[in-house]
């Protein structure tokens, strides 16, 4: 068991944001028509403070503007990124971050919102805190996912939540060999397997019976989906390891899905390698709630 001083340190891994904000990039959920009023308000707020407002192409269309930036260009040019949408919108933005990416203020326009914890009503107060250097940020670990085919890297992805191997609709239970740092763990016989970050522990891994992990812990999770062997449970490992998953040559209809948004149909003998990414997502926290507040509200803890 961790001593109290160590546990307290883990629960307070946050940093005050202290950087000059000259350009704010806005990325909204595509086709989210209700965001137009907020975009107008943000434009006025930025103009009053002599801050340049940048919009990506989809957001520019929602605002009735003719031109916007590619997401990669917007991320590179921004001192702060405001994401308007749900967790899915934030996950899509996370995939284009680089080592110099600005902190992200995620405003919840969705329904669940484990990641987009700032409400619409809190948006401008939080922005003022950012300008005053009083906003706290959390560094959220990401993972790099590589598909190895015929001894070479066939495809690469980055994920904030998870990488998932699942069977096709008509496929039988699949066999997945798992090694960690070259050491054989087991052959999982299951409907699939999830490798997730602590942030992803409240996503698909939670519905598969995995534990809830505090989002700033240095760890990764390996969680089977509907395991044929009931003794298989979610495995929590250090974040510095390399996890490899291998398929049997005869298996078909197996898919890799990254953050539930992008993916690939796999072939027999493909291997999937997962490592901690050098890229982290810097997420601005709400001043009015913490991780446990979010869990109680979203998971309805204590309700009857």
Contact yes or no for 30/58 (Cβ under 8 A): yes
Which residues span the domain enclosing 40?
A: 11-135+285-298
Contact yes or no for 57/70 (Cβ under 8 A): yes
- Do 159 and 201 have their domain in common? yes
Write the burial class of residue 173 (CB in 10 Å: 0-12 exposed, 13-18 middle, 19+ buried).
Answer: middle
pLDDT score at 240: 97
User: Distance between CA 279 and CA 142 in Å, rounded?
Assistant: 6
pLDDT score at 199: 96
The answer to whether residue 3 is domain-embedded is: no
User: Distance between CA 99 and CA 67 in Å, rounded?
Assistant: 27
- Do 107 and 204 have their domain in common? no
- Do 28 and 126 have their domain in common? yes
Measure CA of the first residue to CA of the last residue in the chain; give whole Å. Answer: 32
- Do 120 and 151 have their domain in common? no
CATH code where residue 248 lies: 2.60.200.30
- Do 82 and 99 have their domain in common? yes
Give pLDDT tens digits along the chain (304 positions): 444 434 444 444 455 555 689 999 999 998 888 888 999 999 999 999 999 999 999 999 998 887 899 999 999 999 999 999 989 999 999 999 988 889 999 998 866 678 877 888 899 999 999 999 999 999 999 999 999 999 899 999 999 999 999 987 766 789 999 999 999 999 999 999 999 999 999 999 999 999 999 999 999 999 999 998 888 999 999 999 999 999 877 777 899 999 999 999 999 889 999 999 999 999 998 877 788 888 888 888 877 7
The answer to whether residue 6 is domain-embedded is: no
Is 73 a residue of the active site? no
- Do 268 and 160 have their domain in common? yes
Tally of residues, the chain: 304
pLDDT score at 103: 95
pLDDT score at 12: 43
- Do 178 and 77 have their domain in common? no
The answer to whether residue 304 is domain-embedded is: no
Q: Where are the alpha helices (DSSP H) in 53-203?
A: 57-62, 71-77, 87-94, 123-131
Domain count, the chain: 2
- Of 56, 73, 79, 87, which is the active-site residue? 87
- Do 106 and 217 have their domain in common? no
Q: What are the Cα distances from residue 127, in Å, to 103, 155, 185?
A: 12, 38, 46
Strands of 235-238's sheet in order across? 235-238, 219-225, 192-196, 162-167, 254-258, 262-266
Tell me, what DSSP letter sits at residue 56? Answer: B
CATH code where residue 40 lies: 3.40.50.10330
The answer to whether residue 251 is domain-embedded is: yes
- Do 114 and 207 have their domain in common? no
User: Distance between CA 180 and CA 194 in Å, rounded?
Assistant: 14
The answer to whether residue 18 is domain-embedded is: yes
Single pTM value for the model = 0.89
Give the CA-trace dihedral at 183, 188, 192, 195, to 10 degrees.
-30
The answer to whether residue 165 is domain-embedded is: yes
Distance of CA 106 to the CA centre of its chain: 12
The answer to whether residue 105 is domain-embedded is: yes
The answer to whether residue 119 is domain-embedded is: yes
- Phi, psi of 156, deg, nearest 5: -135, 145
User: Distance between CA 51 and CA 65 in Å, rounded?
Assistant: 18
Write the burial class of residue 33 (CB in 10 Å: 0-12 exposed, 13-18 middle, 19+ buried).
Answer: exposed
pLDDT score at 5: 36
């Amino acid at each position: 068991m961790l001593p109290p001083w160590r546990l307290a340190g883990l629960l307070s891994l946050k940093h005050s944001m202290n950087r000059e904000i000259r350009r704010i990039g806005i990325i909204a959920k595509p086709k989210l028509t209700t965001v137009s009023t907020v975009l107008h308000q943000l434009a006025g707020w930025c103009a009053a403070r002599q801050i340049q407002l940048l919009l990506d192409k989809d957001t520019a269309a929602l605002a009735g503007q003719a031109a916007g930036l590619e997401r990669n260009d917007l991320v590179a040019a921004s001192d702060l990124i405001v994401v308007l949408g749900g967790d899915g919108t934030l996950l899509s933005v996370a995939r284009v971050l680089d080592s110099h990416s600005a902190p992200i203020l995620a405003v919840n326009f969705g329904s669940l919102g484990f990641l987009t914890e700032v409400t619409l009503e809190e948006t401008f107060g939080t922005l003022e805190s950012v300008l005053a250097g009083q906003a706290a940020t959390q560094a959220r670990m990401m993972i790099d996912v590589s598909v190895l085919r015929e001894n070479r890297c066939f495809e690469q992805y980055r994920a904030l939540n998870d990488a998932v191997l699942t069977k096709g609709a008509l496929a039988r239970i699949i066999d997945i060999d798992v090694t960690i740092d070259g050491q054989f763990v087991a052959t999982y016989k299951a409907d699939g397997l999830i490798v997730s970050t602590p942030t992803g522990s409240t996503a698909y891994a939670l519905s598969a019976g995995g534990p809830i992990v505090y989002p700033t812990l240095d760890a990764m999770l390996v969680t089977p989906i509907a395991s044929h062997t009931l003794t298989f449970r979610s495995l929590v490992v250090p974040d510095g390891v390399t996890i490899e998953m291998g398929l049997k040559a005869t298996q078909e209809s197996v898919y890799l899905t990254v953050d539930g948004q992008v993916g690939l149909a796999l072939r027999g003998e493909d291997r999937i390698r997962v490592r901690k990414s050098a890229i982290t997502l810097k997420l601005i926290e709400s001043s009015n709630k913490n991780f446990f507040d979010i869990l109680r509200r979203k998971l309805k803890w204590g309700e009857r």
